[in-house]
Amino acid sequence: MEAYTEADQNILYNKVQVTLEKAKTNPITEIKKKKSLEEIRFLDAVAIEKFTDKLNYYKQIPLKPSSLDILQINVGYLCNQICNHCHVNAGPSRRELMSIATMKNCLNAIDIGGFHTVDLTGGAPEIHPDFKWFVEEISKRNVKIIVRSNLTILTFHEDYSYLPEFFKEHKIEVIASMPCYTLENVDKQRGEGVFEASIKGLKILNALGYGKENTDLSLHLVYNPVGASLPGSQEGLEKDYKRMLKQNFEIDFNSLYTITNMPISRFLNDLKSQNKVAHYMHLLVDNFNLAAVENVMCRTTISVRWDGTIFDCDFNQMLHLPVADKNVRNIKDFNSEKLLNRNIVLKNHCYGCTAGAGSSCQGTIS
């Protein structure tokens, strides 16, 4: 099976190009905010216990940051894929892309904020027309750079063929979504042909030294369940992934991160269509893990939307829940002291990061 037929790939590429031409002009509309508010209210109605009540019981309210280590920057929601679990609702028709002016404000925050890591995400962040310039500018700072890659972008079109060598040149840490090591499960969640394209991308990265022992080129994979269930043991899954990918494709990688599907956006719609929202929320609540609260991403990270708005995490970003302090809600107003002293905004979707072993975009789970 081919990753994509050439005709399909060209059609998708042309859709992306058309969107690129119209991008950077799509405001956050009241309709989008209203939809997010409806999602929040919906989760309030089906949850057994409010997340804030749960933390209050354990005397964890207010939840505060422990540090400002990671600046996560979502450069836009444009993507060459449409995945069923995507909490960003990314796809080829999304027009939101970060401006150069906002990127420069992010660079200023890196200069004065004391971050040790810059985490670039999207959509497919590599599609952004200013991605190369932005990475080169970040590379001049003494920070680690992470790129959240869907892997298929590496072979999507010749316009992006420079990416693997570019990643290597700037010693970028690649974190790539790989929901399973079988074709059937990956294509079911992420679209037909995605598994084959992902394998090709992994082989290209391996050939450059990514994921290999005794190199400084880190390649990590991310697993999330296909349906309304919690991920299994990270250690066990990692062993399975390494065995199967090596055995079947001669592919190596460093670590596997497990992430719980967040009950928002596209995944929430999928749950609704199966009448499984209440079941899934009960599952999250029943598996609440107090120890996981220590490692939730919002305690060490701030998330910047494509328009510069600051959030506690990228899940809050999707629900239009900016940081509580109105004086630092945009990256142009960055103030590390105020952001360190903020109260983290919490809603019931936060159960997704504290269920079972815990979950975060960084993969640092307990």
Each residue's pLDDT tens digit, 246-283: 999 999 999 999 989 899 888 888 899 999 999 999 99
Rounded to whole angstroms, how far apart are CA atoms 295 and 363? 10
Q: 138-178 pLDDT, tens per residue?
A: 999 999 999 999 999 999 989 999 999 999 999 999 999 88
Is residue 129 within 8 A of residue 351, CB to CB? The reply is no
Q: 121-135 pLDDT, tens per residue?
A: 999 999 999 999 999
Assess whether pLDDT exceeds 90 at residue 27: no
pLDDT in the model for residue 366: 25
Rounded to whole angstroms, how far apart are CA atoms 76 and 71? 15
What pLDDT band is residue 32 in, cutting at 50, 70 and 90? confident
Assess whether pLDDT exceeds 50 at residue 361: no
CATH of domain 6-353: 3.20.20
pLDDT in the model for residue 1: 33
Mean pLDDT of the chain: 89
Assess whether pLDDT exceeds 80 at residue 56: yes
DSSP state of 223: E
pTM summary value: 0.91
Q: Which residues contact 192 (CB under 8 A, 6 or more apart)?
A: none
Torsion, Cα of 204, 90, 72, 365 (10° steps):
-80
β-pairing verdict for 173-177 and 219-223: parallel
Q: 68-112 pLDDT, tens per residue?
A: 999 999 999 999 887 766 777 788 888 889 999 999 999 999 999
> C-alpha 289: how far from its chain's center?
22
pLDDT in the model for residue 363: 40
Enclosing H/E stretch for 72: strand 70-74
Assess whether pLDDT exceeds 60 at residue 3: no
Is residue 204 within 8 A of residue 152, CB to CB? The reply is no
